[in-house]
Amino acid sequence: MTRAAHAVRRSWAGVALLTSVALTLVGCGDQGGAGEDPVARPATARAPVTPTGPATTDAATTGAADPVVMPDLTGLPSAVAGRRLGRLEARARIGLSSDWGAPVAVRCGTRPDTVVRQDPPPGTPLTGRVVVAIRTAAIDLDEFRGPCAPPDGDLGPVTGADAVVARQFYRFAADPSLGAPFAPEDTWVGIEAGPTSVRLGAEERGHLPAWELDAAYAESLGPFSAPDLLARTGGYFELHRGVVGTCPTGDDRAPAELAGLRAITLTAPADTVAACMEWWGVTLFLDAADRIRGVALRQGAP
């Protein structure tokens, strides 16, 4: 299996789990649209109809609610769309299920992990059992590898100089020829606190295969690559100070070789994470001059 195929399989196994969780956890909050009614309904209510005889069955006379219609999910982050469908099923009880198929390849301009296609289309009345087909966006590194610069890509909470370093490393991950502020020493590259690690010199850092780590990790098989993971984000990530604990174990240890260095961690945006399998983190360890001394990949597990 190629690295790209393995990544797609992992990504869409996670999306399937996302939907399952969303459809069974009734009442979860919608972080991307707080206060919005997840069940779209006709904008204009029908006027009451005066009964004319026993055959009259208008919904207004029987007390039935207006028919539920399909909401517009396009553009929503995957976790938000999953929660929206879960709330729709909880309120409407129409036997709603979903099919999250293969992602749609995109380049800059479309945020990865957001809905780009849905069927039924928005406004379709939902009656009986309905299977909603959803496709989300994904950057295929075999088709496109280059840095994107989305104006809303810095999702916080850390900004300022640390955000500049994180953005430089993202751009390097997408295109190593752009460089990044690495320390002159060899760069420590590994998984979490270091059960698997390598050291890369200046020339090796520009060679993407050198970043691949072959290991069994997070209930998956490698190779794992921090540059590949970041390149697929399209520049959308959150930045936090320190080592963010791995989901679900909470492991926030630094590698022994990098203990004492300041750390910042790029993570998956919260609105794309509904289960630990969708979470990831890349921790950068910085020296006193804010140069990168180490890079630790962290990945959530089911």
Q: Are residues 161 and 90 in the same domain?
A: no
Asked if 120 and 207 sit in the same domain, the reply is no
Per the rule left: phi > 0, alpha: psi between -120 and 50, beta: everything else, 245 is beta
Across the range 203-230, mean pLDDT stands at 95
CATH number, domain of 27, equals 3.30.10.20
Strands 237-241 and 262-267 come out as antiparallel
Note whether 103 and 181 are same-domain residues: no
Q: Dihedral of the CA atoms 13, 19, 21, 25 (nearest 10)?
A: 180
Same-domain status, 130 and 16? yes
Do the Cβ atoms of 102 and 135 come closer than 8 Å? yes
Instruction: Enter the pTM of the model.
Output: 0.77
Q: How many CB atoms lie within 10 A of CB 182?
A: 19
Last residue of a domain, one of 106, 139, 172: 139
In a domain, residue 144? The reply is: no
Encoding tokens for residue 268?
A: 């998956």
Domain end: 105, 139, 173, which one? 139
Q: Are 122 and 72 in contact (CB under 8 A)?
A: yes
225 and 117 within one domain: no
Regarding whether 132 and 7 lie in a shared domain, the answer is yes
Residue 198 lies in a domain: yes
- Residue 302 has what pLDDT? 85
d(CA 83, CA 24): 10
Distance of alpha carbon 76 from alpha carbon 84, whole angstroms: 10
Q: What is the total count of domains within the chain?
A: 2
Structural domain harbouring 179: 154-299
User: 66: pLDDT confidence band, cut at 50, 70 and 90?
Assistant: low
Query: Do the domain assignments include residue 149?
Result: no
pLDDT range class, residue 118, cuts 50, 70, 90: very high
Assigned domain for 242 exists: yes
Question: Where does the pLDDT of residue 46 fall: very low under 50, low under 70, confident under 90, or very high at 90 and above?
Answer: very low
Mean pLDDT over the full length of the chain: 82
198 vs 94: which has the higher pLDDT: 198
Q: What digits encode the pLDDT tens for the residues 17-31? A: 333 433 333 333 333
- Kindly report, residue by residue over 224-267, the tens digit of the pLDDT: 999 999 999 999 999 999 999 999 999 999 999 999 999 999 99
